[in-house]
Chains A and B, each alone.
Chain A
Amino acid sequence: MAVSDAEICRRLATDLDRGFVDLVAAYGRIVLTVAARASSATADAEDLAAEAFLRAYRALRGYDAARLSELQVRPWLVTIVLNVARNARRDASRRPRTDTLGGHEVAATTRDAADLAASAAARAELAGRLAALPAKQRTAVVLRHVVDLPIAEIAVVLECPEATARSHVARGLAALRAAYGGRDSKAVGLAGDGSKRRSER
């Protein structure tokens, strides 16, 4: 993280709007990822992330310097995007789910197009399994292992003690492993070609 939470808060207190540009730059990736992965929402992840940032801005407009200095920006933002995604899911429960996250998948280190397709399929399968986890476990796993938040911040988001947050992560991971377990390594992932790449490693 190039800019610390404290530095972001200082900038927000100095000039809310310019500080907010830095905040979007610092946390855009996390908010977008949480919107896409932790929500199993139907709406476009970018729309959800943009909406979350706008809500955050509207809230910050009412904060004084004291409140700003106490704010834990990152878990606060994550909480907002989770709420936005939950509301969107509730509002649009009739619409079909769109799993396509066009364009901005992080490119894995792959050697050719077949590998790329295979790893995309494997990622889609993992995302699907993640979405099938109970909400708290899913959120905990996404925050800990997809966007790399510390346990302390995950506990803030889940409003639980750190030990509980840790156990949500552990149980979520265990469930994911179990979902893949009992199959040999060749069967891992959707595409047969994907296992070829793995066996070469």
Chain B
Amino acid sequence: MSSISEVPIEERLRQLALGAPRGFSERVVARYTTIPGPVGELHVAWTAIGVAAVEFAARSDEESFVAAFRRRRGRPIVPAARPLAGLAAALRSGRGAALAYDLSGLSEFERRVLGATLSIPVGEVRPYAWVAAAIDRPRAVRAVGSALGRNPVPVLIPCHRVTRSDGTIGNYGGGPALKEALLRAEGANLDELAALAAAGVHYVGSATTKIVCLPTCQQARRIAPRHRRGFGALAEAGSAGYRPCRRCRPGPGQPG
């Protein structure tokens, strides 16, 4: 046996117990809330890693939303006692990049597509081919479309900002009308985009700076009308001495 001066082994073993760390429950149990979004209310679910699911309240009631979450993620989910920090601000500003996301269960390709999409600024749109080029898979345009269609966190990761290069807005999980409403709510000039596309213009350059942009790029919108030049293809702009904008990084995506 231990000597009297020594702490008994049983007592010392007891001291090997760990306390549950703060926030351990969040590692296991997801939380959700229903919150006003730019177009109607949204159900939003998150884990300790980040936002994991978003659904339009108009398309799915709370019960179906949590049931689908449990089924897909195999994780318990309960109403949040506190709102997720930064969620309301991200929805107000349209800057989803301010939040972290839990995209577990998605493929590497899908994650990269969503990562590139997250960088599209508020009120601007990019063609599907732009996303494909951004992730170094320029030929995977259709696959980009499918990956965006499976976006588990719409609105926050703005798949609505990815549109067809023919000037139409393209498909959306919640329907094209919702996509259009989201884009108009954040000030995207869809009418101008469609008019330009109808006229065969997919890139807009400034005759003074000799920089060519995608039409909704903030830089393009600043060009004074008398300096604006439209181009159907990037090569056309290139041979006219224009260089691509470093902000919107126009790529050689084909119209259509």
Chain A positions near chain B (C-beta within 8 angstroms) = 16-18, 20-21, 24-25, 28-29, 32-33, 36-37, 45-46, 49-50, 53-54, 57-58, 61, 101, 103-106, 108, 119, 122-123, 126-127, 130, 141-142, 145-148, 173, 176-177, 180, 184-185, 188, 198-199, 201
Distance between B76 CB and nearest chain A CB, rounded to angstroms:
4
Per the bound structure, the CA–CA distance linking A16 and B24 in Å amounts to 18
A18-B78, A126-B12, A145-B10 known; A199+B19 contact, CB < 8 A: no
Closest 7 A/B residue pairs (Cβ): A28-B20, A145-B13, A50-B27, A17-B76, A53-B28, A20-B76, A29-B20
Q: Determine whether the beta carbon of B29 is less than 8 Å from that of A21.
A: yes
- B15 contacts A by Cβ under 8 Å: yes
Is chain A's interface secondary structure helix, strand, loop, or mixed overall? helix
- B64 contacts A by Cβ under 8 Å: no
Q: Determine whether the beta carbon of A32 is less than 8 Å from that of B7.
A: no
- B5 contacts A by Cβ under 8 Å: yes
Q: Determine whether the beta carbon of B7 is less than 8 Å from that of A57.
A: no
Chain B residues near A105 (CB, 8 Å)? 18
30 A-B residue pairs with Cβ-Cβ distance under 8 Å, sorted by A, are A18-B78, A20-B28, A24-B24, A28-B25, A29-B17, A32-B21, A32-B24, A33-B18, A49-B27, A53-B27, A53-B28, A54-B75, A57-B28, A57-B74, A104-B21, A105-B18, A122-B12, A123-B16, A126-B13, A126-B16, A130-B16, A142-B16, A145-B9, A146-B14, A146-B16, A148-B14, A176-B9, A177-B9, A180-B9, A185-B5
Per the bound structure, the CA–CA distance linking A198 and B28 in Å amounts to 40
Chain A residues near B139 (CB, 8 Å)? none
Q: Determine whether the beta carbon of A198 is less than 8 Å from that of B19.
A: no
- B77 contacts A by Cβ under 8 Å: yes
Chain B residues near A37 (CB, 8 Å)? 16, 18
Chain B residues near A103 (CB, 8 Å)? 21
A21-B25, A28-B24, A54-B28 known; A147+B17 contact, CB < 8 A: yes
Distance between B50 CB and nearest chain A CB, rounded to angstroms:
15
Chain B residues near A20 (CB, 8 Å)? 28-29, 76
- B70 contacts A by Cβ under 8 Å: yes
- CB-contacts of B1-45 with A (<8 A): 1-3, 5-7, 9-10, 12-21, 24-25, 27-29
Chain B residues near A29 (CB, 8 Å)? 17-20
Distance between A169 CB and nearest chain B CB, rounded to angstroms:
10
Q: How many residues of B contact A (CB 8 A)?
A: 30
Chain A residues near B29 (CB, 8 Å)? 17, 20-21, 24
Per the bound structure, the CA–CA distance linking A18 and B32 in Å amounts to 13
A17-B76, A17-B78, A29-B20 known; A24+B15 contact, CB < 8 A: no
- CB-contacts of B77-126 with A (<8 A): 77-78
Closest to A20 in B: B76
Distance between A144 CB and nearest chain B CB, rounded to angstroms:
9
Q: Determine whether the beta carbon of A21 is less than 8 Å from that of B78.
A: yes
Chain B residues near A185 (CB, 8 Å)? 3, 5-6
Which of A24, A101, A123, A198 has its CB near the most chain B CB atoms (within 10 A)?
A24
Q: Determine whether the beta carbon of B18 is less than 8 Å from that of A17.
A: no
A29-B20, A106-B18, A198-B7 known; A24+B25 contact, CB < 8 A: yes
- Partner of B9 from A18, A61, A173 at Cβ < 8 Å: A173
Chain A residues near B2 (CB, 8 Å)? 177, 180
Q: Given contacts A32-B24, A58-B74, list 10 more A-B pairs with CB under 8 A.
A: A49-B24, A57-B28, A61-B74, A101-B18, A104-B19, A104-B21, A177-B9, A180-B2, A180-B9, A188-B6
Q: Determine whether the beta carbon of B9 is less than 8 Å from that of A32.
A: no
A24-B25, A54-B75, A57-B75 known; A127+B9 contact, CB < 8 A: no
Per the bound structure, the CA–CA distance linking A28 and B10 in Å amounts to 22
Closest to A56 in B: B28
Closest to B21 in A: A104
